[in-house]
Amino acid sequence: MEAKKHRNTHRGAFILFCVFSFAFFLLFARFVQVQWTGKAEGEALAEIAQQQHKQTRTIEAKRGTIFDRNGVILAQDVPSYTVAAIVDPDDPRRVADPEETAEKLAPLLGMDVEQMERILTKKAKQVEFGSYGRNISFELKRKIEALHLPGIIFTRDTARFYPNGMFASHVIGYAQKNAKNEMVGKMGVEKSLDRYLRDKDGYVSFASDAKGFRLPEARERTIAKPDNGANVYLTIDAKIQTFLEDAMNGVEKQYKPKKIIAIVADPKTGKILAMATRPSFDPNKRDIANFLNDAISYPYEPGSTMKVFTLAAAINEGVYNGNETYRSGSYKVGPNTIRDHNDVGWGTITFNEGVQRSSNVAFSILVKEKLGEDRFLQYLHRFHFDQKTGIDLPNEATGQIRYRYPIERITTGFGQGTSVTPIQQIQAATAIANDGKMMKPYVIEKVVDPDSGKVVLDHEPTVVGEPITAETARKVREILETVVTSEHGTGRPYQIDGYRVAGKTGTAQIPSASGGYLTGRENYIFSFLGMAPADDPRLLMYVAVQQPRLDVTETGAAPVSQIFTTVMKSSLQYLHIEPSKEKSVETKLAAQRALDSLVGEAAVTAAEQLKKNGYVPVVIGTGRYVERQLPRGGDRLLPGERVVLKTDGAATMPDLRGFSLRDAMKVAHILGLRPSTKGTGYVVSQNIRPGARVRQGDYLIVELAPPRQWEEMAAKKEQEAAERKEAGPHE
């Protein structure tokens, strides 16, 4: 029995030995196979091991920067950072002490300590802190890094930044990240040149240990090089654009118009130096009310600025005689009657005066009787009003030449019926300013590879036509200058001291949704197309203001001229274009007239006579007859100047607010006052209240402010005075 049990034990041991020996043999054979082939389950083990110990790092590329023509940055990539925390308990890089980390980090991010601690104790591998930890600055990142908190990491990203905010926004446009985290242009130059501006990240790999840390002597291997986007240089001049933006902001605030459109161009080359519209937006915020650039995408009936090209056509064809007369007021075209803007006209006047007064009848005669409708249509094509300019911006529109009916052919001559875009008018006007050569407008100066410095796209000035001769262009400019300088000229508000300006005003009707046109003194698009210096224009500018809120004493020229004169004068001075002093004086002297002596005349009669002759009377005193006047009889002065009349009654102080220093001194001199001034510009306050009696030798103290500020300061002074009066006397 004992021997049998012993045999069974040996048999069992033998079986186990065989089983283990077989298993060992299989494992050994597998080991030999793996060692021999280097593969397991068809996979190369060396490659798997390499992948487990290899990490990749992104080398971020940079989207191209957008510059103005002088290298001022208008759009660029800037780094942004997001704070995160590793909280995986199996990761050696994790947050070591959530409570301490929260106490130190929360104040820097503006978070509640308990709130951060709850986030740091979540069951996750990695956590973020919501909006508190996103888009932090580089300075804040450095402060956090200085705390040396374990587990706190940063992810780097880029954001598109527009340093000037609302600045040529519809030209520059904007770019933003898409679903693939790629920066893509969505508007303006950012969109049209996206293929040049776009970047592509690069990658490098390096060996690491099992925990992901880079091995001490591991070398990086480049997988793909980063491809930076190309840099774009615009024709926009940041300085001139700033002049324009500031002027438009002032008009928008004061007049609250529906739209403002303005373009400044170099007529010799077609370069757009400034372009802006209202409403606009800040591309950093993308608070966009209008996605279209109205300067190139908004066709409308231009009004009388179109007369510039009708006049050019008539002169070029040799059918214009400026001294020839016609009967203004109305003109029949079939069953329709065309009327001048004052309905009754100005009697029989010359065509030159008709241009100055912006007579619709004069231009109707030029189209129908002088040029002929077919020949005028040829000039509309010559000036390219039938096609886009091809400016290098997206979404350009074109107007529509309405020439089907006889009345449409005539009204097109003075800017009604047919529609055009502002940029079409700028292109056509370059032919007037550039001695007959019409230049294609453009905003892209060049595109440059940032790494090699190679110019990959370069724009040169392009002549797109010669619709008129150089002699015609010169004659047109001479006549358009009289629109600004003549006593009858509608362009008088656009005069710039020291510079000769040539241009044409426009008052365009706005079609009504119910048919016809809107009515009311404000329901127009008021505009001006001007150039300076008139003899050899260096700048060409178009300004349009739609439906401004005007004061009862104001015309549509007020907001338009505020933009034009401010921007044009500042830009000419910035470009070091010397004022044409001698010619400016000659022009002024030609417009001056000798003033009649009004001493002894009835004050009421004298004031009426001055108004009739275009002067502004200032009557001082309670008497009936004029005792003294300034300027004196025989003195030469321009229409629109103030003439001070002192009567024989008690002397009283007039309201000087809004007076120039020169006019205020006239009052002081005629009353025998001792003047004292503070500031420059126009009077905003005076120490002697209006209506108060004055005596010779009294002190007159006036405070002055620049033109753009005097109305605001005057209103503030009035408010302060009213508040003092309401409060009553106090100790």
Would you call 563 exposed, middle or buried from its count of C-beta atoms within 10 A (0-12, 13-18, 19+)?
buried
Distances (CA, A) of 67 to 163, 191, 443: 11, 15, 11
From residue 636, alpha-carbon distances to 583, 605, 646, 661 in Å are 18, 21, 19, 19
Any idea which of 398-407, 479-488, 538-547, 662-671 has the lowest mean pLDDT?
A: 662-671
Q: Considering just the CA atoms, what is the radius of gyration of the chain in Å?
A: 39
d(CA 644, CA 631): 7
Which stretches of 307-450 are DSSP H helices?
Answer: 307-316, 351-356, 360-365, 373-382, 406-412, 422-433
pLDDT score at 585: 37
- 10 Å Cβ neighbour count for 224? 12
pLDDT value for 588: 47
Distance CA 478, CA 239 (A): 30
Tens of pLDDT along 148-175? 999 999 988 788 999 999 999 999 999 9
User: Is the bond preceding residue 631 a cis peptide, omega within 30 degrees?
Assistant: yes
- pTM equals 0.70
- Mean pLDDT, all residues of the chain: 86
Q: What share of the chain is helix, strand, coil (3-state, %, to 5)?
A: 35, 25, 40
Distances (CA, A) of 688 to 674, 701, 711, 727: 12, 8, 19, 21
Which tens digit of pLDDT belongs to each residue from 411-422?
A: 999 999 999 999
Q: What are 175's strand-pairing partners?
A: 185
Number of H helices, E strands in the chain: 22, 33
Distance from the Cα of residue 588 to its chain's centroid: 34
Segment 52-59 shows an average pLDDT of: 54
Here the contacts of 645-648 (C-beta below 8 Å, separation 24 or greater) are 645/598, 645/603, 645/606, 645/607, 645/610, 645/617, 645/618, 645/619, 645/620, 646/620, 646/621, 646/670, 646/671, 647/603, 647/619, 647/620, 647/621, 647/622, 647/623, 648/621, 648/623, 648/624
The yes-or-no verdict on residue 569 having pLDDT over 90 is yes
Q: How far is CA 296 from CA 45, 135, 239, 263, 570, in A?
A: 64, 35, 22, 10, 25
Pairing of β 463-465 and β 202-207: unpaired
Calculate mean pLDDT across residues 72-85. Answer: 91
Model confidence pLDDT, tens digit, residues 101-116: 999 999 999 999 999 9
270 within 8 A of 145, measured Cβ to Cβ: no
Structure tokens, 89: 């308990």
Active site residues: 304
For 25-34, 339-348, 398-407, which range has the lowest pLDDT when averaged over its residues? 25-34
Q: How far is CA 114 from the centre of its chain?
A: 47
Nearest residue to 506 via CA among 261, 718, 719: 261
User: Helix (H, G, I), strand (E, B), or coil: what is residue 127?
Assistant: strand
- In whole angstroms, give the CA distance from residue 23 to residue 703: 109
494, 566 contact by CB (below 8 A) = no
Q: Is 690 left (phi over 0), alpha (psi -120 to 50) or beta?
A: beta
CA of 403: how far to CAs of 413, 440, 511, 729, in Å?
Answer: 11, 25, 18, 72
Pick 454 or 608 by higher pLDDT: 454
Phi, psi angle pair for 508, to nearest 5°: -95, 135
**How far is Cα 388 from Cα 395, in angstroms, rounded to an integer?**
10
In this predicted structure, what is the pLDDT of residue 6? 59
* CB proximity list for 362: less than 8 A, separation 6 or greater: 326, 328, 351, 354, 355
Q: What is the DSSP string of 662-716?
A: HHHHHHHHHHT-EEEEESSSEEEEESSPTT-B--TT-EEEEEEE-HHHHHHHHHH
- The H-or-E segment that residue 326 falls in is strand 325-327
Buried b (16+ CB within 10 A) or exposed e, 290-299: eeebbbbbbb
pLDDT band at 12 (very low <50, low <70, confident <90, very high): low
Task: Give residue-wise pLDDT tens across range 573-603.
Answer: 999 998 875 444 345 444 556 778 888 888 8
Q: Is the peptide bond before 533 cis (omega within 30 degrees of 0)?
A: yes
Residue 224 is predicted with a pLDDT of 59
